[in-house]
A = this chain, B = another copy of it.
Amino acid sequence: MDRIPRNITDNYSEEAVRDRIDWLRRKTGLPLDGIATYSIAPSDARGNIENFVGVAQVPIGLAGPLRINGNHAQGNFFVPLATTEGALVASYNRGMKVIGESGGANARILKDETYIGAIIDFGNLSEVIRFSHWVKENFSRLKEVAESTTHHGKLQSIESSIQGKRALLSFHYTTGDASGLNMITIASKAVIDLILTEVSVGRCVFPATFNDKKSTFMNAIKGRGKSVAADVTISRKLVEGALHTTPEEMMQGCYANSLMSATIGGTLSHNHHFANGLAALFIACGQDVAYVAESSVGSTVMDVSDSGDLYVSVTLPDLIAATMGGGTGLGTAKECLDMLGCYGTGKVQHFAEIIASVLLAGEVSMWGAIMSGEFSEAHRRYGRKQS
């Protein structure tokens, strides 16, 4: 059977890449000119990809300005959104305009802590309880071992949940500006290795992946990565003039939609479409896009304020984002992060506040479109036909 040329560890020479794409052209009979058009140097992609053959080009649309009054992000931002969903950029752009006319989005980091789990089997309940005491007593040593593997990660706590003879350990860290998942995997592995040396255990499953890159109640309840929120109060006049609906309609729509979903759909996340803006930002900014599954959890709430205006908030308990490491430094990703003033160290909370504010803009616009009946209209106008 045919195999892809070149060993998978020999990925990054120009020649290796050419061999592979040529082989693929012959194999498929396709010209593949798009994939082969890129500005990234293959060698820069070492550590990000194996068997590199080229790139996927995802169109970027620009939205903004988005006015943000955050603790970290402050000012007007122009936001690159990589998507092929027609109407998405136009809709976010409209929301940004409404937010700008309302004085900007107020964004805040609520919590910043990431955790990873391990499951350890013992012989019975008594043993697992004893172990859980051992972990408490040895925490400072375990912390030292974990932190010896990293400059930026700090082990804050180890929580132990017991279920029969098994313990679910969760290791909670602050991680600086990387998304930190690789970092805490390596640090926690060092802890696990120490445990396995000193404690007699049965099986160890590490990492326990039940909460990673998935929507889970535990992540939503405890928070994971950045917990971040943003809000805005939009005057009744602007709701009527720009969104063609009323604060009361918006609140009722939210109430009905959230209640129905809460009570009938088994939804753990109450927003219109966080996933839209998030995926578009994540692709543009070189994030690990698989985290859309986890980071898009969160809720939009709309209220009529005491003054009769519309109060809108978004809350994301579980945002996994990075401004260094992973794909953040590669070609277009670095450009997009730079555009937002977010590349490198000391920038991740800045980036998280921007993300929340962008999603707020999307919610304002899309809920407005739904409540005014323009939503499916917009899809007909901007979107591709799929009759």
Contacts and interface: CB of A to CB of B under 8 A. Distances in A.
A112 to B, nearest CB: 14
Chain A contact patch, size range: 35 or more
For the complex formed by this chain, how many copies does it contain in all?
4
Among A28, A38, A263, the most chain B Cβ lie within 10 Å of the Cβ of A263
A178 to B, nearest CB: 4
A242 interface: no
A205 interface: yes
A47 B218 contact: no
B276 A213 contact: yes
Nearest to A217: B266
A327 B330 CA distance: 23
A interface SS class: mixed
A124 B163 contact: no
A211 B267 contact: yes
A371 interface: yes
B163 A260 contact: yes
A32 interface: yes
Interface string A60-88: 11111100000000001010101111111
A339 B257 CA distance: 41
Contacts of A121: 252, 256
Contacts of A279: 288-290, 292
Which of A34, A265, A303: most chain B Cβ within 10 A? A265
A119 B256 contact: yes
Nearest to A93: B8
A201 interface: no
A351 interface: no
A208 interface: yes
7 contacts: A45-B84, A50-B90, A84-B330, A189-B376, A209-B273, A215-B297, A221-B221
